Amino acid sequence: MFLQKIEKFLFDDSYYINSNFFYIRIYRWNPYLSLNPWFNIFPLKLLEVKQVMVLDLLFYIKNNYDSTLVFRRSCREGICGSCSMNINGFNSLACLESFNPKFSQFLTIYPLPHMLILKDLVCDLTNFYNQYRLIKPWLIQKETFNKKENLQSKVDRFVLDGLYECILCACCSASCPSYWWNYDKYLGPAILLQTYKWLIDSRDTAQKTRSSFLNNSLRLSKCHGITNCTKVCPKNLNPAQIINFLKYFSKI
Ligand code: SF4
Ligand code: SF4
Ligand code: FES
């Protein structure tokens, strides 16, 4: 039924262009089929709705056209970071990105670029989380501190603004050319921003270990300051600037 719909439009250009339909092009790949990746084009018609969230569109397609379409999501409000994908050429969160067919008749959705794909829009984040584990993302304290409450002054707490909001969505790392080519050596903007958060937390006592970890091989030095990472961050953070602070800390 869906194929018939597409044919109808492909054979009549005027109808195709002037119609009230808009077209969603979605990258597909299934590891259980011996097929190369392909695109599905879904023609949809919006009646009353003027603007929709991309995540709602994906749900609509999954529920009405193709239940085999796979994508990650959880919170649907920009908190969990799981719905990151490439939307019209831009890494973003599907639940925060809106689409208005008034301004464009086409919407193209890929998985995050330069990641291994598990299925359709779901990429493999194993390397990303292994790198996260490497930076020891927890408070490290000397033994004597263990039984005390961790008090922090207002100023000490204030310096964590612009860092604690990171939801580890990987939009920034997947937009970084340096990370594309050196994902096995370079930590990438997301993990470096997290490293900095622990490094400057007044309650943490492992500054030396944390900065000497960064001085090793290409973990930090592969950033070339192109700032793609900052342009795409859906939480409006500035990983490129944080990396510069880290370089200063680590004397790179
Ligand atoms: S810095 Fe921004 S883009 Fe990068 S992981 Fe954190 S929230 Fe996502
Ligand atoms: S500034 Fe650094 S981390 Fe950000 S995109 Fe450029 S090379 Fe990657
Ligand atoms: S569903 Fe959680 S950030 Fe989009």
- The per-residue pLDDT string of the chain (252 residues; one tens digit each, 9 = 90 and over) reads 444 454 444 444 455 555 678 899 999 999 999 999 999 999 888 665 578 999 999 999 999 999 999 999 999 999 999 999 999 999 999 999 999 888 888 999 999 999 999 999 999 999 999 999 999 999 998 776 566 778 899 999 999 999 999 999 999 999 999 999 999 999 999 999 999 999 999 999 999 999 899 987 799 989 998 899 999 999 999 999 999 999 887 765
Residues 57 and 113 in one domain: yes
Residues 11 and 34 in one domain: yes
Residues 96 and 134 in one domain: no
Say which amino acid occupies 24: I
Q: CATH no. for residue 90?
A: 3.10.20.30
Say which amino acid occupies 137: P
Cα of 209 vs centre of ligand 3, distance in Å, is: 33
Q: Which of 9, 39, 7 is nearest to 21 (CA)?
A: 9
Is the CB of 225 inside a 6 Å radius of any atom of ligand 2? Answer: yes
* Alpha-carbon distances, residue 12 vs 6, 55, 130, 137, 250 (angstroms): 11, 30, 51, 57, 62
Q: CATH no. for residue 225?
A: 1.10.1060.10
Is the CB of 242 inside a 6 Å radius of any atom of ligand 1? Answer: no
* Alpha-carbon distances, residue 16 vs 57, 61, 74, 150 (angstroms): 20, 20, 35, 63
How many domains does the chain fold into? Answer: 2
Could you tell me the sign of the dihedral formed by the alpha carbons of 137, 142, 144, 150, in that order? negative
Residues 82 and 139 in one domain: no
Distance CA 92, CA 95 (A): 9
Pick from 108, 123, 138: which residue ends a domain? 123
Residues 20 and 34 in one domain: yes
Asked whether 208 and 122 are in contact (CB, 8 A), the reply is no
Say which amino acid occupies 62: K
Is the CB of 93 inside a 6 Å radius of any atom of ligand 3? Answer: yes
Distance CA 3, CA 95 (A): 28
The confidence score (pLDDT) of residue 182 equals 95
Residues 16 and 80 in one domain: yes
The confidence score (pLDDT) of residue 157 equals 96
Pick from 77, 93, 123: which residue ends a domain? 123
Q: Which atom of ligand 2 is nearest to the CA of 189?
A: 3
* pTM confidence score: 0.90
Pick from 99, 123, 147: which residue ends a domain? 123
Is the CB of 116 inside a 6 Å radius of any atom of ligand 2? Answer: no
- Within 8 A by CB and 6+ apart from 245, the residues are 196
Residues 185 and 213 in one domain: yes
Is the CB of 178 inside a 6 Å radius of any atom of ligand 2? Answer: yes
Residues 111 and 200 in one domain: no
Ramachandran angles phi, psi of 140, nearest 5°: -110, 125
The confidence score (pLDDT) of residue 48 equals 57
Domain that holds residue 54: 2-123
* Alpha-carbon distances, residue 148 vs 66, 198, 229 (angstroms): 55, 19, 38
Residues 235 and 171 in one domain: yes
